[in-house]
Amino acid sequence: MVFNDIVIIVKKEISKVKNLKDLNILRVKYLGKKGYITKKFMLIKNFSKKERINKSFIYNKQKEEIKNIIIKRKKEIEIEQYNNNKFLNQSIDVSLPGKYIPPGTEHPITSIIYEIEKFFQNIGFKIITGPEIEDVYHNFDALNISKYHPTRTEQDTFWLDKNVLLRTQTSNVQIRIMKHNKPPIKILTSGKVYRHDYDSSHTPMFHQVEGLFIDKNVTFIDLKSILILFLNFFFGKKYKIRFRPSYFPFTEPSLEIDIFNNKKKWIEILGAGIVSSYVLKNIGINHNKYCGFAFGLGIERLAMLRYNIDDIRLFYENDIRFLKQFRFNKFL
C-alpha cells in the first residue's frame, strides 16, 4: 500500500461519521495502541536499517495526516450538533412580558455639573474644558503661586516628573484661554482635579467648577451679585450665606463664601476674587485697561450640602443603593 492509500481510505471513512462516538472508534482503529499505525511500527524491526528509516518517515507522516483529519472532523461534528440542539431545549412563551430593565441615570456629580453649567450659560458664560495633565507654568507659575508654596510639595500634589503633574485646580484652563484670547472673556470650566487627601470630606480626585470674567469696568459688586444669584438658584435660599475676606495668590482682593448648614456650622463652599494684576500682566493682558473676577467651587461640597451627605466617599464607592436615590433628581 503506497503512502496516500491509507490516508485516502481514512478520509472517506471519517467523512461518513455523524457523531463523536463513532469518530472515536475510528481514531482507536487507526491511532490506538493496537491500531493500524502501531502495528506498522511493530513490523519495522524486520527491515534493513535503510528501510527502517524510510518506513518510519512514511508511518509518522501517515499518523500526522490521520490525526489532522480526525481533529478537523471533530470540530465539524461539534458545530453541527450545536446548531441542531441550539433551540431544542428551549420553550418560549411569546405571550409573557419582557424582562424589565430599569433605566440608567446620571451620576449625581454629573447632574450637578450640568446644572451649574446651564445656569452660567444662561447669563452669557461659555463652557470650556482643558487638560488634566498639566505643566508647572500653567498650574502654578502663571497663577502667581510661589516656588515654595506648600501646594507644590509631593504631600499635596501628584507629580509625574519635575515639570508635569496632575492639575490641582481647573484654573489652568483660565490661563490657557487668557493667553490665546483677547478680552472680553467670559468662561466657565469644570473637570477633575487631584490632590493628596483622603477622608470623609476629601478624596484624591474631585471636581471643580471655575468661572472667569475679564472686561472693562468689571467690579467687585459684579462678582458678589453673580455669586448670590447662583447660590439662591442652586439652594433655593435654603441656607444663610456669608462673605468673608480671604487670600489667594491669583486674586486680590479675595473672598470666601460660607453656608450655614443643618448642623448649625459655617461650611466654606467657594473662593473668589478680582484677578490679580500680576496674573493679567504675566499672560499679556493690559491690566490698566482690563480687569475681572474669578471664582471656583467644589462640586462634591455642593452636592453634600444639597443632599445632606456627611461622607464624600459615598459618591465614588459605586454602591447602587446609594446612587439609585438620585434617579429622579433632575436639574432645572
pLDDT tens for each residue of 44-81: 888 888 888 888 888 888 888 888 888 888 888 888 87
Interval 32-44 mean pLDDT: 84
What is the Cα Rg of the chain in Å?
A: 37
Residues in the chain: 332
Q: Give 193's pLDDT tier (boundaries 50, 70, 90).
A: very high
Tell me: pLDDT of 332 over 50: no
Whether 223 has a pLDDT exceeding 60, the answer reads yes
| Pick from 90-94, 123-127, 195-199, 324-328: least confident | 90-94
For residue 85, pLDDT beyond 70: no
Give the Å distances, CA to CA, from 80 to 20, 86, 244, 282: 11, 10, 78, 74
What band does 1 get if pLDDT is binned at 50, 70 and 90? very low
229 contacts: CB under 8 Å, gap ≥ 6: 123
Task: Write down the domain spans for the chain.
Answer: 3-85, 108-326
Strand boundaries in the chain, DSSP class E: 126-128, 133-135, 164-166, 185-194, 205-215, 240-248, 251-260, 266-275, 291-298
Average pLDDT over the chain, rounded to whole?
Answer: 86
> Which segment, 101-105, 148-152, 184-188, is predicted with the most confidence on average?
184-188
Percentage above 90 pLDDT, the chain: 38
Q: What percent of the chain has pLDDT over 70?
A: 94
- Provide the pLDDT for residue 329: 52
Tell me which amino acid residue 31 is. Answer: L
pLDDT of residue 127: 95
Q: Please tell me the class of the 108-326 domain.
A: alpha beta
Judge whether residue 230 has pLDDT over 70: yes
Residue 331, pLDDT > 80, answer: no
Rounded mean pLDDT, 199-210:
86
Query: Can you tell me the mean pLDDT for 24-43?
Result: 85
Q: Which of 47-51, 130-134, 141-145, 199-203 has the lowest mean pLDDT?
A: 199-203
- Residue 8: the pLDDT is 85
Higher-pLDDT residue of 1, 322: 322
pLDDT of residue 150: 80
Helix axes 20-31, 49-85, angle to 10 degrees: 180
Span 160-184, average pLDDT: 91
pTM recorded for the entire structure: 0.66
Identify the band that residue 149 occupies on the pLDDT scale cut at 50, 70 and 90. confident
Answer yes or no: is pLDDT of 89 > 70: no
pLDDT at 96: 77
Report the pLDDT value the prediction gives residue 238, as an integer from 0 to 100: 79
Cis check: omega of the bond before 253, within 30 degrees of 0 = yes
Q: Inform me whether the pLDDT recorded for 2 exceeds 60.
A: no
Q: Hey, which residues does 69 pair with through a beta bridge?
A: none
The string of pLDDT tens digits covering residues 242-291 is 999 999 989 999 999 998 887 888 888 899 999 999 899 888 899 999 99
CB-based burial, 292-325: b 16+ in 10 Å, e otherwise: bbbbbbbbbbbbbbbeebeebebbeeeeeeebee
